[in-house]
C-alpha cells in the first residue's frame, strides 16, 4: 500500500515545482512588458519634446515669413502711399498697385499703420526743418548732419529719405510740401533678395514636416503604451497557478502528517492534483498558440 505521507509530499512537491517553473515564465513576461513600457514612456517624452520644439520652430518660421511678406507688401505700395501723403487705405493701395494683401493680414495692417505714420511724420518734420534752413542741403546725408533729423522710429523702409529726395527734386524748400511728385520714383534701397523669400518658405515647410512626423511617431508610441497593460492571458495564468497551488500544494500540506489516508481522501488528493495539472496544461496550450501573436501585435510600434 502506498505510504500516505509519501503521496502527499510528492504531490505537493510536484505541484510546487510546476507552479515555480510556470510562475517564473509569467514573471519574466511581466518584466519584459514593464521594460518595454518604460522604454516607450521615455520615447514618448522625447517625441513630445521634439514635437513641441518643432512646433515652436514652425511658429517662428511662420512669423518670419509673415513679416517678410508684410514688409514686401509695404515696399510695393510705399510709392503710392507717399504720393497720397499717407492718406490711403490698405485696400485702396492693393487695388491701385495690383498687389495682393498677404495672408497674415493682421501683421500687414500693423506695418501699414507704421508706414502711414512714417510718411506723415517725415513730411511734417522735413517741412518744418527746411523752413529754418537758409538753403536746401545737397543730399540726404548733409540734411541729417545739419538737422539731426533721422526720421521717425516707425520708418523701416527708408520713407524719410524718399520724402526728402522728392522735396529736393521739386526745388521748393520753403513752401508747404504738397507732394506733387513726378510719376516715377526711384527705389531708395535694393529689394530684399527673392531667394530669401524662398528660403523662408522652405524653412516653414521643413519645420512643419518635422512637427507632423514627430506627432505621428508620438501617436504610435502612445498607442503602443495603451496596449501594454497587463495582458488578459497573464492574469488568467496567475489565476490558474493560484488554483493549482491551492489544490496541489496547500491542500496536501494541510493533511500532513497523517498515518493513513482513507481511500476517498486519497482519490480526492489525486483528483485535485490531476485536475489542477490539466488546467495548467490547457492554459499552456492556449498561451503557446495565442500569446506570441498578441505580444507581437502589442509591441509593434
Q: What is the reported pLDDT for 252?
A: 87
Q: Domain span at residue 167?
A: 58-207
- Are 246 and 188 in a shared domain? no
Instruction: Report yes or no on 215 lying in a domain.
Output: no
- 138, 203: one domain: yes
Residue 212 within a domain: no
**Buried b / exposed e along 250-260 (16+ C-beta atoms within 10 A):** ebbeebeeeee
What's the number of domains the chain is made of? 2
pLDDT of residue 186: 39
Whether residue 233 is contained in a domain is answered as yes
What is the per-residue pLDDT for 221? 84
C-alpha cell at 111: 506695418
For the stretch 36-71, pLDDT in tens is 888 888 888 888 888 888 888 888 888 888 888 888
Please give the pLDDT value at position 184.
39
Which of 159, 180, 207 terminates a domain? The answer is 207
Low pLDDT (below 50) residues in the chain: 172-193, 301
- Does residue 214 form part of some domain? no
Answer yes or no: do 65 and 45 share one domain.
no
Residues 135 and 248 in one domain: no
Amino acid at each position: 500500500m502506498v505510504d500516505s505521507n509519501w503521496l502527499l509530499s510528492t504531490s505537493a512537491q510536484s505541484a510546487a515545482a510546476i507552479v515555480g517553473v510556470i510562475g517564473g515564465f509569467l514573471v519574466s513576461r511581466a518584466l519584459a512588458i514593464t521594460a518595454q513600457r518604460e522604454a516607450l514612456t521615455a520615447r514618448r517624452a522625447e517625441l513630445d519634446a521634439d514635437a513641441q520644439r518643432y512646433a515652436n520652430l514652425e511658429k517662428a518660421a511662420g512669423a518670419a515669413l509673415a513679416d517678410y511678406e508684410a514688409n514686401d507688401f509695404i515696399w510695393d505700395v510705399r510709392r503710392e502711399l507717399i504720393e497720397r501723403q499717407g492718406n490711403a487705405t490698405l485696400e485702396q493701395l492693393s487695388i491701385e498697385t495690383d498687389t495682393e494683401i498677404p495672408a497674415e493680414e493682421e501683421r500687414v495692417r500693423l506695418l501699414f499703420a507704421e508706414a502711414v505714420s512714417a510718411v506723415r511724420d517725415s513730411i511734417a518734420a522735413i517741412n518744418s526743418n527746411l523752413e529754418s534752413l537758409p538753403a536746401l542741403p545737397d543730399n540726404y546725408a548733409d540734411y541729417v548732419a545739419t538737422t539731426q533729423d533721422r526720421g521717425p522710429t516707425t520708418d523701416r523702409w527708408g520713407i524719410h529719405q524718399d520724402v526728402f529726395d522728392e522735396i529736393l527734386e521739386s526745388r521748393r524748400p520753403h513752401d508747404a510740401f504738397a507732394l506733387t511728385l513726378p510719376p516715377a520714383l526711384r527705389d531708395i534701397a535694393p529689394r530684399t533678395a527673392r531667394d530669401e523669400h524662398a528660403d523662408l518658405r522652405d524653412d516653414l515647410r521643413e519645420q512643419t514636416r518635422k512637427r507632423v512626423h514627430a506627432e505621428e511617431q508620438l501617436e504610435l508610441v502612445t498607442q503602443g503604451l495603451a496596449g501594454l497593460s497587463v495582458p488578459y492571458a497573464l492574469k488568467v495564468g496567475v489565476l490558474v497557478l493560484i488554483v493549482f497551488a491551492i489544490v496541489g500544494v496547500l491542500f496536501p500540506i494541510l493533511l500532513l502528517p497523517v498515518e493513513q489516508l482513507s481511500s476517498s481522501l486519497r482519490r480526492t488528493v489525486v483528483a485535485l492534483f490531476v485536475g489542477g495539472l490539466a488546467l495548467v496544461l490547457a492554459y499552456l496550450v492556449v498561451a503557446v498558440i495565442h500569446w506570441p501573436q498578441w505580444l507581437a501585435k502589442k509591441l509593434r510600434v
